[in-house]
């Protein structure tokens, strides 16, 4: 079974540019999550999809971030325009059930550097 | 609120040394507790978990016991190997939160030959 796939693995962009991160969850997993780790800080929840619907996006930092999950399969996270403080590692995870009590399968992450 | 505090790194140990990484939590409810590990160049992997008080999670020689009285979930391994070098994250999940995990800041471990 393929795991959660994220790409690109690294992205370096200039402040003000746009970047789109992609996540392919494990096949059959309805639940998809985005998390972010800013250097030296905790991994923070961003949002949660159930199929194509946003269940909760309370962790999204501001309206420069837009997440989509067309058709309930892969998801994209767009940052437009990017700012320096957006630098960090963006993780995607997926699960069959919603309960946080079981843990999730995470991808390798996308390391975003905004210069 | 819900939060996880884990010891600051980096931790450097010689091969075969004993490892302890401390983790304490604050939660409004009865969480499940997790240790995730991120090896260099790889994603987060679930290392072990415990879903109720006094449960012991174990995997790959690592162990952690859910201690409700001390709100702790310390990670231990009796004899570390160079291949254990990674970043370790303690996390909690609450059924009433449904989906979001709360993570600690991570502890970097370097094991030298």
Percent of all residues in chain A with a pLDDT value above 90, rounded to a whole number: 73
Q: Position of tokens 């993780």?
A: A91
**B103 closest CB neighbour out of A4, A43, A98:** A43
Say what the pLDDT of residue A82 is.
Answer: 96
Q: Which residues of B touch A107 (CB under 8 A)?
A: 43
Q: Which residues of A touch B49 (CB under 8 A)?
A: 102-103
Span A37-86, pLDDT tens digits: 998 788 999 999 999 999 889 899 999 999 999 888 999 999 999 999 99
Assess whether pLDDT exceeds 80 at residue B14: yes
Look at A101 and B44 and tell me if their CB atoms are within 8 Å: no
Assess whether pLDDT exceeds 90 at residue B1: no
Look at A105 and B41 and tell me if their CB atoms are within 8 Å: no
**CA distances (Å), origin A71, targets A5, A40, A50, A52, A74:** 17, 35, 11, 6, 8
Assess whether pLDDT exceeds 90 at residue A101: no
Mean of the per-residue pLDDT values of chain B:
92
Span B54-82, pLDDT tens digits: 999 999 999 999 999 999 999 999 999 99
- How close B95 comes to chain A (CA, Å)? 6
First to last CA, chain B: 41
């Amino acid at each position: 079974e393929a795991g959660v796939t994220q790409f690109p693995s690294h992205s370096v962009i200039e402040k003000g540019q746009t970047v789109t991160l992609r996540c392919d969850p494990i096949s059959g997993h309805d639940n998809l999550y985005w998390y972010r780790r800013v250097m030296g800080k905790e991994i923070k929840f961003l949002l949660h999809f159930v199929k194509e619907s946003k269940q909760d996006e309370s962790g999204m930092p501001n309206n420069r971030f837009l997440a989509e999950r067309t058709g309930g399969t892969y998801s994209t996270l767009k940052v437009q325009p990017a700012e320096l403080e957006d630098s960090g590692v963006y993780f995607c995870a997926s699960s069959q059930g919603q309960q946080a009590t079981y843990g999730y399968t995470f991808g390798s992450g996308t390391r975003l550097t905004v210069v | 609120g819900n939060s996880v505090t884990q010891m600051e790194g980096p931790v450097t140990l010689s091969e075969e040394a004993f490892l302890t990484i401390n983790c304490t939590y604050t939660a409004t409810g009865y969480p499940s507790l997790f240790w995730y590990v991120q090896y260099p160049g790889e994603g987060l992997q679930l290392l072990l978990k415990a879903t109720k008080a006094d449960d012991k999670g174990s995997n790959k020689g690592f162990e952690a016991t859910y201690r409700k009285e001390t709100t702790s979930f310390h990670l231990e391994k009796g004899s570390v190997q160079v291949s254990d070098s990674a970043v370790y994250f303690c996390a909690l999940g609450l059924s009433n939160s449904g989906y979001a995990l709360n993570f600690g800041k991570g502890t970097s471990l370097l094991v030298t030959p």
